[in-house]
Chain A
Amino acid sequence: MNVKTEKISKPRKNALVMFIHKMGSPPWFYNFTGKFIPWFWAIFIVLTIWGLYLGLVKAPADYLQGESFRILYLHVPAAWMSLLIYSTMAVLSFIALVWRIRIVEILAMTSAPIGAAFTIVTLTAGSLWGRPTWGTYWVWDARLTSELVLLFLYLGVIGLYNSIDEPRKAARAACLLAMVGAVNLPIIHYSVKWWNTLHQGSSISLTGGSSIDPSMLWPLLIMAIATKFYYGANLLTRARVKLLEQDIRKAWVREVLKEKKG
């Protein structure tokens, strides 16, 4: 018998697959993501200070809107985040429902309060910009109304998740609602094209042809990047806390806390 031919070659796992498998382990996820959070916060703070300095101090006043246009450095990145976070939540919800990965469920559910916060900021900042620009705080215009519906969807996901005692069942129900609610995203995006709205169309285009001056555009882009880091830091913090909460009786949680105390 030839010994060499008896050897069974082990299937070599792809590095990415290995990484995804590791991320599925709560202690590994907790320790690994913990390293990034302080960096994300630091980058967010630096970019926010830089973006606000350029936007509030350096950028010239708008020839039509005057100084009130400076509210857009908060309103626009917050509005983008409200849509991006919902999209992320819907994709994570799909993954969670199909593959039943607990950490993905947690990431989807912990995205909801952050998305709701950005939607509240979008609506209040937009309203305060609308008063001097349009002469009113609120109109039942398609863009504003669909953004308000987005807030209700976020609140619905949070409410449903917290209303069921068993966390995995709760996550499945809320993930389903999050996926159904994704139908509102194209409505928000195209509302200014589909209907005749008071809210203006987009001034920035990824394919070129932005109608905004570069001196006003750069602070906006910096703030947009800053809010991504805010989301990253906040999401990971919330996911880690949720893991501690769910695994309160498990050995790894006690070990982690012992290490922290030591």
Chain B
Amino acid sequence: MSHTPFIIGAYSIGAVVLLWCAIAPLLRKKSITRDIRRLVQIEERSRDTNT
């Protein structure tokens, strides 16, 4: 039995899981940053209309 597919399989799954685990918070940060910028814009607009 060739061991190569098992080795490649193990390292591929490991790479995908750890890569996703590293990328997920960065994607979340991007979406939070977008939300904060939108919130600031809404607040500035409402301040402008009040003055």
Contact = CB atoms under 8 A, between A and B. Distances in A.
B45 interface: no
B21 A234 contact: yes
Given A68-B7, A113-B21, A117-B21, A124 B36 contact: no
B40 A254 contact: yes
A138 interface: no
Contact of A248 (B6, B17, B26, B35): B35
Contact of B6 (A117, A129, A233, A254): A129
Contact of A237 (B6, B9, B17, B25): B25
A227 to B, nearest CB: 9
Interface in A106-134: 113-114, 117, 120-121, 124-125, 128-129, 131-132
Given A71-B6, A113-B21, A237-B26, A254 B36 contact: yes
B14 to A, nearest CB: 5
A238 interface: yes
A128 B10 contact: yes
Interface string A218-250: 000000000000100110011011001100110
B32 A66 contact: no
Nearest to A115: B21
Q: How large is the interface on A (under 10, 10 to 19, 20 to 34, 35 or more residues)?
A: 20 to 34
B10 A244 contact: no
B17 A244 contact: no
Given A121-B17, A125-B13, A132 B1 contact: yes
Contact of B10 (A125, A234, A237): A125
Interface string A48-89: 000000001000000000111011001100100000000000
B14 A124 contact: yes
B35 to A, nearest CB: 7
B40 A67 contact: no
B39 A121 contact: no
Contacts of B7: 56, 67-68, 70-71, 128
B13 to A, nearest CB: 5
Interface in B1-44: 1, 3-4, 6-7, 9-11, 13-14, 17-18, 20-22, 24-26, 28-29, 32-33, 35-37, 39-40
